[in-house]
Amino acid sequence: MASSELVNVTKTALNSLAEYSERRPIFSRLLKASFNRLKNFTWTPVCIILTVLSMAATLTRKLFDSDSYLRMAEVGILSPTDRVELIRGDILVMSPIGPRHGAAVNAAVRTIVKAVGEKALIWVQTTVVLDTFVVPEPDIALLKARDDSYATKHPGATDILLIVEVADSSLEYDTTVKLGLYAIFGIPEYWIADLRNERLLAYAQPEGDVYRVARELHRGELIAPRALPESEFPVNMFLP
């Protein structure tokens, strides 16, 4: 194959994979890693691209349900260090936690625990089961108090008072996919600590796949969960 033909084939493959990766976010990293505007390409990445496209076109997707997904964690197929979530039946790899992301979660948890006391439980980067095919691991979930502290069953949608996600590289995902899912399953409140734009986005009153109330808060302001209006938190703690 001539060089010009190879470039044309590669461009077509990249365009197709880009469209496919929009539907399957886990493949977007392959697209970025395999090529950088067609510079210094070799036959190896070309074959990888074409193989993925061929598989996408001919193979039927295997959707995992919550039971299968949780069982994989129990038997060690998914380790405790794997940062994955089950979203619409797909097991998706989450972005690594950066130092600022970790600092925001830790600061928020310390403050929330002191403020809510025994009135609610704090779930930190741990599984919640929203549906047969939706099992996310939000950064922070504020749960209804329960005597067994959810030792016998993962929290479900009706157990959740508030979900907080800390977003940097995941901002688009958290403000679209996650927002829609949390609204659909009736999560009463959803906050996003937007580290990229130095703000806190607060959503309430889910209706369909959207929230009827949306607010933007900044440093110096206070916010309280609607379920616990007496517990006010400084926005600063989410934006270290």
Q: Are 140 and 109 in contact (CB under 8 A)?
A: yes
Q: Are residues 106 and 207 in the same domain?
A: yes
Write out the residue range of the structural domain in which residue 191 sits.
Answer: 99-238
120 and 24 share one domain: no
- Whether 106 maps to a domain, the answer reads yes
Can you give the pLDDT at residue 58? 58
Q: Cβ of 27: how many Cβ atoms within 10 Å?
A: 16
Q: Which CATH number do you get for residue 221?
A: 3.90.1570.10
pTM of the model: 0.74
**24 or 63, which is more confident:** 63
| Number of domains making up the chain | 2
Clarify whether residues 137 and 27 are in a common domain. Answer: no
Instruction: Find the mean pLDDT for residues 65-72.
Output: 91
- For the stretch 208-240, pLDDT in tens is 999 999 999 999 999 999 999 999 999 999 999
Check whether residue 230 and residue 166 sit in a common domain. Answer: yes
Q: Where are the beta strands (DSSP E) in the chain?
A: 84-87, 90-93, 120-124, 134-135, 140-144, 160-167, 189-194, 199-207, 210-217, 222-223, 233-234
Instruction: Kindly state whether residues 105 and 30 are assigned to the same domain.
Output: no
My answer on whether 130 and 30 are in the same domain is no
Closest-CA residue to 198 (of 216, 180, 186, 185): 216
Give me the percent of the chain exceeding a pLDDT of 90: 64
Q: What is the mean pLDDT of residues 23-52?
A: 45
Dihedrals phi, psi of 170, to nearest 5 degrees: -95, 15
Kindly state whether residues 215 and 126 are assigned to the same domain. yes
Residue 78 lies in a domain: no
Task: Say if residue 114 is in the same domain as residue 232.
Answer: yes
Decide if pLDDT at 189 tops 80.
yes
State the pLDDT at residue 94.
Answer: 87
pLDDT at residue 57, as a whole number = 54
In a domain, 73, yes or no: no
pLDDT value for 37: 40
d(CA 154, CA 139): 15
The answer to whether residue 80 sits within a structural domain is no
DSSP lists the bridge partners of residue 213 as 204
Q: Cβ(125)–Cβ(96) under 8 Å? A: no
How does pLDDT run across 129-186, given as a tens digit for each residue? 999 999 999 999 999 999 899 999 999 999 999 999 999 989 999 999 999 999 999 9
Q: Above 90 in pLDDT, residue 99?
A: yes
Compare 127 and 39 and report the one with higher pLDDT: 127
Q: Among positive and negative, which fits the CA dihedral 144, 146, 151, 156?
A: negative
